[in-house]
Structure formats: structure tokens, C-alpha cells
Amino acid sequence: MNATLRLGVLISGGGTTFLNLHEHIQSGRLNAEIACVVSSRRKVAGVTRARDLGYPTFAVARSKYEDDAGFSAAITKILSDHGAELAVLAGFLKIYLPSGPFAQRCINIHPALIPAFCGKGFYGNRVHQAVWERSCKISGCTVHLVNEHYDEGPIIVQKSCTIHDQDSPEDIRRKVFELECEALPEAITLFAEDRIRFEAGRSIISPRS
């Protein structure tokens, strides 16, 4: 049995993905605990939800720092001070540069099938709107390791869904979010069970022993 993995969860908005992790942990479907929550915005529903649930919750504004490095260092300190072992970007909308213990232990969930519809400007409903405008027949979500660029780290888990011609961007969002709710706990479990390593920019996943 692996020890419970301590997560540092980074958010910027409603915290729906954070809540999904909380629910997975509470129901025993995910062997992890939330060590702290860090938000890039102070007045968002995610902060209220995290505080109401009793998690140590912090707001760190990008505007208070000169560059991404300073901003990221402030976040890394909070994560380290709370004993986080894996940083999880869960709807986090700023560049975070993982360093120290988080250099290869920071993941992001993106609501599209990377390398499509990703990078700067692609976040939240903008992604689903763009997928709809191209009349894509499939979409999905991607969990990847975080490197210094938006959405470019090695892919860890992807899940896809069919899009029907009558689906609206909101329908796509709903379908993709359902996939996200499974994909992120799955990826976290790979870290918790020590079944993932990174080599030459690729992820290598070993089967459950």
C-alpha cells in the first residue's frame, strides 16, 4: 500500500476541478490528501469553497511580482511549507514554473486533446467554443506534466468523447468535464503508485504490480 500523496492544488476560478478531487478523496476513490490550495485570484468561488472545506487556502496575485519566476517561487514556498508532494494545476490560468521538488512533479489538466486547441489564449470555455467552431467530431481532455511553456509537457493521460453535430459548446464542456473528473484522479494515482517516469521528454507508465 502506497502512502497518501499530498497535493498542492492551484486554481484561478470556480474550483470545480478542485472540488472533484476533494470528492474523490472523501469517497475513497483517490488515495491522496489536499495539503493546500493556492489561487491566482482572491475573490473567486474556488477560494471560498476551499476555505469553507477547511483547507489552508492562499491567494497569490501575479501582479505583485516582477516576473513569472518570482510569482512561481512564492507559490513553490507555500506548497513546500505545507508538505505538498505533487502540484496540480486545476484551472490555473497563469504560468507556473515548477522548481525544486516540483520540477517533475507538477501536472496540469487541459480541456482538449493536446496538441490541438492549447497554448496561450486557450482556457476555459474559449477552448470548447474553438472546438465547436471547427466542427470537430471528437474532443476530450489531457493531463500533462508542466514544463516552462503552456501545455507543452509530456502527456500522461488523455480521454476522448464524440461530439454530435447538434452539440453546443456548453454540451462539449459538460462532456469534457466528465472526462476530466476521471482523468485527473487517474494521473494522480500514477504518481501516488510511483508508476510514472519521464525520459527524453516522454512519459513512461509502468503497469500496476
Ligand X SMILES: NCC(=O)N[C@@H]1O[C@H](COP(=O)([O-])[O-])[C@@H](O)[C@H]1O
Among 74, 112, 113, CA closest to 94: 74
73 sits near ligand LMY7XDAE (criterion: CB under 6 A): no
- Which residue is catalytic, options 22, 24, 82, 110? 110
6 is in an annotated binding site: no
110 is catalytic: yes
Q: Is 2 labelled a binding residue?
A: no
Residue ranges in contact with ligand X by CB under 6 A: 11, 13-17, 46, 91, 109-111, 123-124, 127, 180
| Cβ within 8 Å of residue 98, ≥6 positions away | 72, 76, 87, 104, 105, 106, 146
Residue of minimal Cβ distance to ligand LMY7XDAE: 110
DSSP letters along 63-83, please? GGSSSHHHHHHHHHHHHHHTT
For residues 9 and 84, which CB has a smaller minimum distance to ligand X in the complex?
9
Q: CB within 8 A of 186, min separation 6: which ones?
A: 143, 157
Which residue from 23, 81, 148, 194 is in contact with ligand LMY7XDAE, where contact means CB under 6 A? 148
User: Which stretch of DSSP H or E encloses residue 5?
Assistant: strand 5-11
CB of 21 closer than 8 Å to CB of 86: no
Q: Do the beta carbons of residue 161 and residue 139 sit within 8 Å?
A: yes
CA distance 86 to 74: 16
Residue with cell 510511483: 194
Shortest reach from residue 21's CB to ligand X, in Å: 10
CB of 165 to ligand LMY7XDAE, least distance (A): 27
Residues 88 to 117 in contact with ligand LMY7XDAE, rule: CB under 6 A? 89, 92-97, 108, 110
| Partner from ligand X, ligand LMY7XDAE, none binding residue 17, C-beta < 5-8 Å depending on class | ligand X
Cα dihedral 142, 146, 152, 156 sign: negative
Residue 79 CB, nearest distance to ligand X (Å)? 18
CB of 28 to ligand LMY7XDAE, least distance (A): 28
Mark the binding-site residues for (6R)-10-formyltetrahydrofolate, compressed into ranges: 62, 108
Mark the binding-site residues, compressed into ranges: 62, 108
Site residues for ligand LMY7XDAE per CB under 6 A: 89, 92-97, 108, 110, 120-123, 146, 148-151, 153
Residues annotated as catalytic are 110
